[in-house]
Structure 1
Amino acid sequence: MKQLEDQSRRFRLAYGTAALTVGILTTGWGLVFAYMQAWSLAVMDAALIVTAFASYALTRRHQLSAALFLSQFSFLAIVIVFCLLFDVPSAVAPRVSHLFLLVLALLGYINYQRENSRLQVALIALCLVSFVFFASTNFRVPYADPIADEFRIYGSWLNTIVAIIMLCGGVYAMQREFARNLDQARDLKAALTNREFELFYQPQVDQTGKLTGAEALLRWKRPGGGYVSPAEFIPVAEEAGFMPVIGDWVFNESCKTLVFWQQDAATRDLKLSVNVSVDQFMKDDFVDTVLARLTTLEIDPTRLKLELTESMMADDVDLIVSKMSALRTAGVTISLDDFGTGYSSLSHLRRLPIHEIKIDRSFVQEAPGNKRNQLLLKSIFDIARTLDMSVVAEGIETKEQFLLLQSFGCTVFQGYYFGRPLPLPGFHKQWAHDSAPPLAETA
């Protein structure tokens, strides 16, 4: 997580510096145009200055997404207008302002890697189409007011140099990011071979704090270092195509835990929740592999929960329903994880053969002070009761959150308020023979 934070900080710094540079450079040109009493150009530069410094301010306030979209929308419109009205090519100097459209397209691509959206793709496409148009034609509107050639000849050199520097900076930033991901992908592959992965277990309890089960959470312990957060390596593993292999390892280790639990009367009835990635679930033999493993190890299928994310709904829903139905028929509990943040709709929820939904932690943590969130949560519980589904609330960190969810009828709870994820020995030491220590102490 620290590496992710450092990366985000570096990106904010780089983007903030670029915005500030553009603002300062444009201010200089604005003063020149004002001195020349070229007021239309001065107004255009003023718009650029406002956009640049507003983006810089948003970046300083850690609102990077807002800064990026503001920059792209505003600069795209300004560059297009500038090319049509003022930067008209002549025999003395070519049009160069359109070069900044490539910078905007690159910026859009970098932002798309951070936060996928169709709007971002549309912006990138518009930048590239506009660039091709201005690079391939000498089009000008009839009422254009071209900049005087004696100024454009210097501006063409300066703007071209600045645009190329910005492009090089963006390419360098992307190269660093790709290299980092490639190095981490290699480390992940080695981690599988060297058995550097480990499962932690976070307790799940009922209304009284009695232990009912746990969620198996993947951790990666680097040699000679600390644990790497899943938020950092899971996206890299997904991109590298490692999730099916990692997921199989997690499932096999979870089965070993269930075998171990059924040998002790204190843990015999506990259920274990296991996260399943989209790539792993969509494997042709996934259902057969799961059921065969349970049969071979003589594990009661009702003690296994498979947690599937809403993003899975973007794939073949009919196939997903078929796989879920086969697992449910065998007795495996199907849980829809991070409910409310993905692709699910009421029609999907009605069709899916799931036993429970797991409310995303963002709804839980904001609920006590947010009436709209409370109403939304209450509606989720009402829908779940109507469809005969149970609800798990995760991310509970305070007594206030616990009592609020309890008042809505929640029966399964998970979060730091009850216990942090622990390696299996620590989990057993704290929970195996003590039904509700954290709740009894803090409630």
Structure 2
Amino acid sequence: MIVVLSGLGWFLYFATAENWPLAYADLTMVVLGALGWLLIRNHQIKAALTLSEVAFLIFIVAFCLVFDVPTEANPRVSHLFLPAIALLAYFNYLREKSSFQLVVIAAALMSFIYFSSTKTAAPFAQSVPDEVRHLGIWINSTLATAMLCGGVYAIHRASTGQNEISRALRSAVRNNQLELHFQPQFDNARRIIGAEALLRWKHPRHGYIPPGNFIPIAEESGLMPLIGGWVLKEACRTLAAWQDDPVLSRLTLAVNVSANQFNVTGFEQSVLEAVELFNVDPTKLKLELTESVIISGVEPVVEKMNVLRASGIEFALDDFGTGYSSLSYLRQLPVSQLKIDRSFVQESLESPGGAALIRSIVRMGLDLDLTVLAEGIETAAQHLFLLECGCQEFQGYHFGRPVSSEDFKARALQVAG
């Protein structure tokens, strides 16, 4: 908004003076700022940050070369916005680390140094009049400083917020604020065959907090082994409660296991201890791993999985196709099920490519003698298409949303009856 308002003010000033090159340059800045603001309003934070940092970096460099040429009376000032651009890119880097963000940071800082140290200008430069530059120096210096301070504050808030959530999560485990909800899974005859246990955090003041708001922070803070251990024990407790029911005792329960949790030394023993503690049938427990577990190497992962498979526990490869997706390692991992990622399901009826990808994944899974489950099914048309492809098991809002343990039990008994 600072960019939009300041750019609009300069546009009106130069338009009134009929200095159209500068007026159009400032109008470009207004449009870029407004577009970034609209993306943020639509919750497209990543797109807004990337657009802003790249577009404004190019704009400022061009403006310094064409319009903001230093004179004997007044220095160049537009380059003072470049550290704010670098800070913006760093903020984006903290959200999602990538080499591209590092390149933007380096480009912004190097450009700042270059324009601070030289009087370089384009041969066709049209310098801002000195009478305007004298006022603009103070305005732009103030705005650049304000944006830099705002960026520092934003990073501080984000860091503080993550630390607070991390502390609150530790407290949530101790104070029984975490819950398991269950989403049903069905076979191709629409019989309920099991459920996926999904973590929910019921905060005493804020109510239910979406997993997407705390799971990434838990992973970054190293809390997933603690939280994942709680989930496994609760899943075993649930299976123990189901054992006495003739309907529920036939169901499997799938539990998500993060790479951080799986790679902890002794993970396999902790799972076996939980199974023994609650005296549950290990064949009813299914652990869902994402492809990121193999980042530390296939052999140690296979070794742990084989220990658990020997007891009867099965494995599913979750979100298949979104990670490393190598057929060579897939054949090495002792998994019994592939889960097609919801993003592929959503695209299956939107494009020929999406449909072809689903068919390929299902065919590959069947060729490897694996059960194929599609998650994220929201419509009857998606379900029908997946049936035609040969998919065997299904999960998604079309069949049922995640619900509490009591509601799931009621639903399972209703479907079975």
- Alignment RMSD (CA, Å): 2.8
- Alpha carbons 1:79, 1:101 under 8 Å: kept: yes
Which stretches in structure 1 are left out of the alignment for 5+ residues?
A: 1-16, 438-443
Deviation digits for residues 257-305 of structure 1 (CA, Å, limit 9, x no counterpart): 2222233332223211011112111101111222333345443332211
Closer/same/farther in 2, CA of residues 26 and 325 from structure 1, 3 Å limit: farther
Provide the secondary structure at the position in 1 that maps to 2:317.
strand
Q: Contact 1:26–1:49 at 8 Å: present in 2 too?
A: no
CA spacing shift, 1:30–1:106, aligned 2, 3 Å: farther
Deviation at 1:54, TM superposition (A): 4.3
SS at 2:57 equivalent: helix
Q: Say which of 133, 141, 146 aligns to 1:165.
A: 146
1:26-65 residue pairs with structure 2 within 5 A?
26-28=10-12, 30-31=14-15, 34-35=18-19, 39=21, 41=22, 44-45=25-26, 47-56=28-37, 58=39, 63-65=44-46
Residue aligning to 1:71: 52
In the alignment, which residue of structure 2 is the partner of 1:4?
Answer: none
TM-score of the two chains, using structure 1 as the length reference: 0.84
Provide closer, same or farther for how the CA distance between residues 63 and 201 of structure 1 changes in structure 2, counting only shifts above 3 A: closer
* Deviation for aligned residue 1:34: 4.1
In the TM superposition, what whole-angstrom CA distance separates every residue of 1:291-336 from its partner, at most 9, and x where no partner exists? 3333454433322111112333444344333333333344321111
Aligned to 1:417: 398
Partner residue, 2:7? 23
Q: Structure 1 residue aligned with 2:364, among 383, 399, 403?
A: 383
Match of 1:407 in 2: 388
Contact 2:188 2:393 in 1 (8 A): yes
Matched, 1:181 2:162: yes
Distance (whole Å) between structure 1 residues aligned to residue 46 and residue 382 of structure 2 = 30
**1:344 corresponds to which residue?**
325
Matching of residue 268 in structure 1 with residue 277 in structure 2:
no
Q: Does 1:103 align with 2:84?
A: yes
Q: 2:290 aligns with which of 292, 309, 319?
A: 309
Mapped to 1, the partners of 2:281 and 2:159 lie a distance apart of 44
The 8 Å contact of residues 86 and 144 in structure 1, kept in 2 or not, is answered as no
Question: Do the aligned partners of 2:65 and 2:122 also contact (CA within 8 Å) in 1?
Answer: no
- Range with bigger deviation, 114-123 or 182-191: 114-123
SS of residue matched to 1:305? strand
Query: What secondary structure is seen at the aligned counterpart in 2 of 1:219?
Result: strand
Change (3 A) 1:61 1:416: closer
User: In structure 1, which of residues 120, 130, 138 is the aligned counterpart of residue 111 of structure 2?
Assistant: 130
Q: CA deviation at 1:131?
A: 2.0
- Aligned equivalent of 2:120: 140
Instruction: Please state if 1:218 is matched with 2:199.
Output: yes
Return closer, same or farther for 1:377/1:337 CA change in 2, 3 Å cut-off. Answer: same
Alpha-carbon distance in structure 1 between the residues aligned to 2:83 and 2:54: 14
Deviation at 1:369, TM superposition (A): 4.2
Rounded Cα–Cα distance in structure 2 between residues aligned with 1:225 and 1:57: 27
Q: Secondary structure at the match of 2:167?
A: helix
Identity of aligned residues (%): 45
User: Shift of residue 67 of structure 1?
Assistant: 3.9
* Aligned counterparts of 2:406 and 2:351: Cα–Cα separation in 1: 39
Distance 1:265 1:61 in 2: 48
Instruction: Say which is worse superposed, 110-119 or 279-288, in terms of deviation.
Output: 110-119
**Counterparts of 1:101 and 1:365 in 2: how far apart (Å)?**
40
Q: Which amino acid aligns with 2:123?
A: Y
d(CA) in 1 for partners of 2:43 and 2:229? 38
Question: What amino acid does structure 2 have at the position aligned with 1:20?
Answer: V
Q: What is the Cα deviation at residue 221 of structure 1?
A: 1.5
- 1:365 paired with 2:382, answer no
SS of match in other structure, 1:422? coil
Matched, 1:246 2:230: no
Does structure 1 conserve the Cα–Cα contact (< 8 Å) formed by 2:7 and 2:26?
A: no
Q: 2-side partners of 1:266 and 1:215: how far apart? A: 16
Q: Deviations over 1:379-400 (max 9, x none)?
A: 1101111222111111223322
Distance of aligned partners of 1:292 and 1:55 in 2 relative to their CA distance in 1, 3 Å threshold: closer
TM-score scaled to structure 2, two decimals? Answer: 0.89
Please give the alpha-carbon distance, in whole angstroms, between the structure 1 residues aligned to 2:197 and 2:37: 42
**Aligned partners of 1:269 and 1:253: how far apart in 2?**
18
Gaps of 5+ in 2: none
After TM superposition, what 4+ stretches of structure 1 lie above 6 angstroms from structure 2?
none
Residue 401 of structure 1 aligns with an amino acid whose one-letter code is: Q
